[in-house]
Structure 1
Amino acid sequence: MKTSDCDILIVPGHENSGADHWQSRWERQLSTARRIEQESWDEPTKDAWIGRIVQDVARARLPVVLVGHSLGVVAIAHAAPLLAPGKVQGAFLVGLPDVERPDFMPAIDRAFAPIPRDPLPFPSVLVASRTDPHCDYAKAEDVAYSWGAAIVDAGDAGHINTDSGHGPWPEGLMRFAGFLKRL
C-alpha cells in the first residue's frame, strides 16, 4: 500500500504532539495524513478519545492506517473492537505507556487502564524502547504479543518523542514505509 492509497490518521498521546514531534512532521510530510483532534489533550477521558477515533475512522474516505503514540496507542486498542470491520488496514504504534503501573503519572492516564489484551483486528506493529520511562520493554513485548502485533526493539530510545531526540525520526519513517508495503 502507498500513502496515497490510504487515510493516515495520527493519534497523539496526552498533551498532543508538538510541532517538532515526529507525528507532527509526518502529518506535514504525508499528503493523506491528518491528526485525530481530541476535545482535551490535557485532561483526556477514555470514552471521549475512543469516540473521536471511531468517528474519524468512520468518516475516512480511503482505507485507514492508524499511527499512534503513547496514550494514543492505548486509545487505539480500546477503540479497535468498535471500528467497522475492514476499514482499518493497519496500525503503527509507538511508545506504549504502562497505564496499569500504580506509580504511573499522570494519574488521569490511569483511567485508560486496563490495557486491552484482545488481538487487534488488523495488522499492527508496536515500536518499543528499552529505556522508555513510561513502560518496561518486557511489558510492551507482552502486550504486543497479546495484540498479535509485531514488536520492534528501538533500543535505547527513551519514549520516542521530542524529549528523547526523536523529532525527525527518519528510522521510524522508513519502518512505517516498510509496514505500509506489507499491507
Structure 2
Amino acid sequence: MKTSDTDILIIPGWSGSGPDHWQSRWAAKLSTARVVEQEDWYKPSRHLWADRIVQAVRAATRPVVLVAHSAGVSAVAHAAEHLHPGEVAGAFLVAPASERAKAAIPGMGADFIPHRREVLPFRSVLIASTDDPYCTPDEARALAEAWGSEFVDAGESGHLNAESGHGPWPDGLLRFAGFLRSLTAVPQKPIQG
C-alpha cells in the first residue's frame, strides 16, 4: 500500500503537535494525511477524543491508517472499542503514554489512562524508547502484547518528539513506509455516500 492509497489520520497527544513535531511535518508532507483535531488539546477525554477518531475514520474514503503519538495512542486504543474490523487498515503507534504521563500531564481525565487491554481490531506497530519519561519500556511492551502490536524498541530516544530531537524523524518515516507496504492485502474501503 502507498500513501496515495490511504487516508492517513494523524492523532496527536496532549497539547497537539507543534509545527516542529514529526506529526505536523508528516501532515504537511503527505498529501493524504490530515490531523484529527480535538476540541481541547489540554484536557484529554477518553470519550471525546475517541469519538473524534471514530468520526474521522467513518468520514474517510480510502483505507485508513492511524498515526498516533503519546496520549494520541491512548485515544486510538479507546476508539478501537467502537471500530469494526476492516474500518482501519493499520495503526502506527509511537511513544505511548502510561501511568507516569497521567501523573505528569495536567488536565488528563481520570478515565483516559489506564488503557484498554484488548487486541486491536487492526494491524499495528508500537514504537517506544527505553528512556521515555512518560512510559517505561516494560509498560510499552505490555501494551504491545495486549494490543497484538508488533513492538519496536527505539533505544534511548526520549519521548520521540521535537524536544527529543525527532522533529523531521526520517527513520520514523522510513519505518512508516515499510509498515504501509506490509498492509498491501487490506481491501479498499467503500466510498461513503
* TM-score (norm. length: structure 2): 0.91
- Alignment match, 1:174: 174
Secondary structure of 2:107's aligned partner = helix
Q: Which amino acid aligns with 1:117?
A: R
**C-alpha displacement at 1:175, in angstroms?**
0.3
In percent, how many aligned pairs have the same letter?
57
Secondary structure of 2:111's aligned partner = helix
Counterpart contact for 1:125–1:150, Cα < 8 Å:
yes
- Alignment match, 1:105: 104
- Alignment match, 1:29: 29
Residues 105-153 of structure 1, C-alpha deviations (whole Å, 9 max, x = no match): 1253243122111000100000000010000011100110111000101
- Alignment match, 1:145: 145
Q: How many Å separate the matches in 2 of 1:47 and 1:81?
A: 11
- Alignment match, 2:60: 60
**C-alpha displacement at 1:104, in angstroms?**
2.0
Matched, 1:43 2:43: yes
Residues 35-85 of structure 1, C-alpha deviations (whole Å, 9 max, x = no match): 000000012222110110011100001110000000000000010121133
Q: When the two structures are aligned, how many residues end up with a matched partner?
A: 182
Q: How many Å separate the matches in 1 of 2:41 and 2:19?
A: 15
**C-alpha displacement at 1:95, in angstroms?**
0.5
Matched, 1:93 2:93: yes
Matched, 1:117 2:94: no
Cα gap change, 1:102 to 1:135, in 2 (>3 Å): closer
Cα gap change, 1:105 to 1:7, in 2 (>3 Å): same
Unaligned runs of 5+ in 1: none
* TM-score (norm. length: structure 1): 0.96
Cα gap change, 1:83 to 1:102, in 2 (>3 Å): closer
Counterpart contact for 2:101–2:134, Cα < 8 Å:
no
Q: How many Å separate the matches in 2 of 1:38 and 1:128?
A: 24
- Alignment match, 1:132: 132
Aligned-residue CA RMSD in angstroms?
A: 1.3
Counterpart contact for 2:100–2:133, Cα < 8 Å:
no
Unaligned runs of 5+ in 2: 184-193
